[in-house]
């Protein structure tokens, strides 16, 4: 038997910026925690640790403070950073599992935080990741 080397992409990374969201929801620790608790299962991923969430103070630059939370999943991670005073959030979903349901995730966060506008960037990560096939 010989090994034939080919490549595949390692994973997928969805980056979301949500604008003009509900300030109270963006400042609600329980809503953010519930997103990190329930979203992995909804998108077919497995948590390997409980979500962590922290109050992030104002940094005296452009960040007026908010919440930062993340959950480590077997497939990578999901993170949420909210800035309630700016009605803004920065969210990442990164997975080594291919076939991410981008529209589901976008709609999920739009509903959770009532964003009026969203930007998203979807990147295939590790596009030269080696995959070894036994021939």
Catalytic amino acids? 76, 81, 96
**Residue 109 CA to chain centroid, in angstroms?**
10
Sign of CA dihedral 131, 41, 37, 98: positive
Strands (DSSP E) found in the chain: 3-8, 11-19, 52-56, 66-73, 76-83, 88-95, 117-125, 129-134
């Amino acid at each position: 038997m010989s090994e034939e080397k080919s490549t595949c992409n390692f994973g997928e990374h969805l980056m979301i910026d949500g604008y003009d969201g509900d300030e109270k929801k963006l400042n609600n620790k329980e809503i953010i925690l519930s997103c990190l608790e329930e979203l992995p299962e909804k998108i077919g991923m497995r948590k390997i640790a409980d979500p962590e969430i922290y109050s992030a103070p104002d940094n005296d630059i452009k960040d007026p403070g908010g919440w930062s939370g993340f959950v480590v999943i077997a497939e990578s991670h999901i993170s949420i950073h909210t800035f309630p005073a700016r009605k803004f959030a920065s969210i990442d979903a990164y997975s080594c599992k291919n076939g991410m349901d981008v529209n589901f995730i976008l709609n999920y966060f739009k509903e959770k935080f009532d964003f009026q506008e969203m930007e998203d960037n979807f990147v295939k990560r590790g596009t030269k990741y080696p995959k070894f096939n036994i021939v």
